[in-house]
Amino acid sequence: MRISKSQQWLLKNVRLVHIYSSMAVLMALLFFAFTGVTLNHGDWKSAAGQHYRELDEELPGGLFPEQLPSDESRRQQLVSRLKVWLEQTQGLPSGQLKVRFDDKAARLELDVQRPGGYALAEVDLAEQRFYLVDDFAGYLSLANDLHKGRHAGTSWRWLIDAVAVICILFSLTGFYLLWRQLSRRTAGLLTTLIGALLTLLAFAFSAHT
- What CA–CA distance (Å, rounded) separates 15 from 13? 5
- What CA–CA distance (Å, rounded) separates 95 from 112? 5
Query: For residue 20, what are the contacts with CB-CB under 8 A and spacing of at least 6?
Result: none
Find, among 93, 100, 132, the residue nearest to 116 by Cα. Answer: 93
Model pTM score: 0.82
Query: For residue 36, what are the contacts with CB-CB under 8 A and spacing of at least 6?
Result: 147
Reading the chain (209 residues) residue by residue, the pLDDT tens digits are 567 788 888 888 999 999 999 999 999 999 999 999 999 988 888 899 999 999 999 999 888 998 998 889 999 999 999 999 999 999 999 889 999 999 988 999 999 999 999 999 999 999 999 999 999 999 999 999 999 999 988 899 999 999 999 999 999 999 999 888 888 889 988 998 998 999 888 888 876 65
